[in-house]
């Protein structure tokens, strides 16, 4: 390539009809010197980049980021599957692995470098609908508006509701806090998971803990807003949140333990981890399933709230399928290393499902407020924030126990523990 041209791009929407495809395709992303101080080269994105899924596309992407890494001094390298220890390997992902002994700064900078975790990071840092095909030309305003989606909705609700004195809004407050926490925790886990094998496990321990707390937030909001009329004030509602706390502890324990048997028994590990999240989901959605069945039998109408809940259930089942099936990368190993593998789709599906769940909870909260305040149990500080704090402390204790067991384990051999540059062959 000549004159600093790095990667061919097409102008796309708004392209002049007088310019042929080949002419547009010849337009390239350039690295230009900063005119103010003659410092390091910086990238200039004049047009959206349409990444190419074709023969030689991976080599072109690698060339782009090798040049870009030198231009903005990204310190991380990219490795193939046979160059990293087994603990870092993913099914069907052949290339794009980061250095398994990265520093914290390297991990942060790697989120701006194309690797097989980049989209995983950004699909939870930008928790909203991720359009396809992917392109790079989002304005700064669009990016800021996107990544703050759940936070923006949270603060918008805070400006219209009295969260401090209105106890009816407390379950919503807990729920909104947790749907902001779990994508951010997942993002951090994916960023810092390559500092060492131990840090990888610990990062995902916290990821699992955040997801289990999210399941508790769902139970708290469902217990007070989504419960069927005939179950209000029943034994189920009175014990719904205590059981959900137990489910959150079970979820964290099972999912953390699954990482200890991941290398020796991968199928058992996957079954444990899947079951750890399916059990709280099924329990939390029992009231919702009952209301959907009543609607199907004609006892009540399918309103706005149930419509959103049904969309949430659809995306929840899709999320579970993507998590367990490892499609499409299982069918074409190496083809979806950077874009389109199941974990990226899993993140998108989970976030979209959470969006519909949030809309359903808000619709139920507003439409059923008068009836629930008259006939239902009033939310208390103990049943909302008290349950959250108790579950948080207990889950943190579980994570601390598993982390201690991990750090006190005998260290594996050099080939499994160290980076590919240690000079040892993996055993």
Is residue 375 part of an annotated ligand binding site? no
Q: How many beta carbons lie within 10 A of that of residue 335, not counting itself?
A: 17
C-alpha 350/C-alpha 365 separation (Å) is: 22
Is residue 309 part of an annotated ligand binding site? no
Q: How many beta carbons lie within 10 A of that of residue 122, not counting itself?
A: 21
C-alpha 343/C-alpha 279 separation (Å) is: 21
Q: Give the distance, in angstroms, between the CA of residue 27 and the centroid of all CA atoms in the same chain.
A: 34
Is residue 343 part of an annotated ligand binding site? yes
Q: Answer left, alpha or beta for residue 3, where phi above 0 means left and psi between -120 and 50 means alpha.
A: left
Q: Give the distance, in angstroms, between the CA of residue 353 and the centroid of all CA atoms in the same chain.
A: 12
Give CA separation, 33 vs 23, 30, 61, 232, in Å. Answer: 25, 10, 22, 66
DSSP per-residue codes, 280-339: HHHHHTHHHHHHHHHHHTTSS---HHHHHHHHHHHHHHHHHHHHHH-TTTTTSTTTTSSS
Nearest CA to 132 out of 353, 342, 339, 350 is that of: 339
Token pair in block for residue 195? 């500092």
Neighbouring-strand partners of residue 41? 33
Annotated binding site: 190, 343, 347
Annotated binding site for Zn(2+): 190, 343, 347
């Amino acid at each position: 390539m000549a004159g600093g041209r790095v990667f061919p791009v097409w102008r796309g929407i708004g392209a002049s009809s007088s310019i042929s495809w080949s002419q547009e395709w010849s337009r390239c992303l350039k690295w230009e010197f900063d005119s103010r101080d003659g410092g390091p080269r910086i990238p200039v994105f004049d047009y959206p980049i349409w990444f190419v899924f074709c023969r030689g596309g991976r080599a072109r992407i690698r060339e782009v980021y090798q040049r870009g890494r030198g231009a903005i001094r990204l310190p991380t390298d990219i490795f193939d599957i046979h160059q990293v220890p087994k603990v870092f390997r993913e099914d069907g992902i052949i290339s794009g692995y980061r250095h398994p002994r990265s520093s914290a700064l390297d991990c942060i900078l790697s989120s701006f470098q194309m690797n097989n975790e980049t989209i995983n990071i950004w699909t939870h840092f930008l928790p909203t609908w991720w359009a396809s095909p992917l392109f790079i030309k989002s304005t700064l305003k669009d990016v800021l508006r996107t990544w703050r989606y759940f936070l923006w909705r949270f603060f918008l609700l805070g400006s219209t509701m009295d969260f401090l004195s209105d106890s009816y809004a407390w379950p919503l407050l807990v729920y909104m806090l947790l749907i902001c926490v779990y994508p951010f925790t997942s993002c951090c886990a994916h960023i810092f998971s390559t500092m060492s094998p131990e840090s990888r496990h610990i990062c995902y321990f916290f990821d699992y803990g955040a997801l289990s707390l999210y399941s508790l937030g769902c139970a708290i909001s469902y217990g007070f807003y989504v419960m069927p009329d005939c179950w209000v004030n029943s034994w189920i509602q009175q014990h719904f949140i205590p059981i959900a706390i137990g489910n959150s502890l079970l979820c964290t324990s099972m999912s953390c333990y699954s990482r200890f048997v991941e290398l020796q028994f991968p199928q058992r590990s996957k079954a444990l981890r899947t079951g750890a999240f399916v059990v709280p989901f099924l329990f939390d959605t029992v009231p919702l399933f009952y209301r959907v069945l009543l609607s199907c039998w004609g006892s009540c109408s399918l309103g706005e709230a149930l419509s959103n809940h049904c969309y949430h259930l659809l995306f929840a089942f899709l999320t579970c399928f993507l998590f367990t099936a490892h499609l499409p990368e299982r069918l074409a190993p190496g083809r979806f290393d950077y874009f389109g593998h199941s974990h990226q789709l899993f993140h998108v599906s989970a976030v979209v499902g959470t969006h519909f769940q949030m809309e359903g909870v808000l619709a139920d909260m507003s439409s059923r407020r008068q009836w629930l305040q008259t006939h239902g149990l009033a939310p208390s500080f103990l049943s909302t924030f008290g349950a959250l704090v108790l579950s948080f402390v207990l889950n943190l204790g579980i994570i601390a126990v598993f982390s201690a067991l991990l750090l006190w384990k005998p260290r594996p051999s050099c080939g499994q523990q160290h980076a590919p540059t240690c000079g040892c062959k993996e055993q």
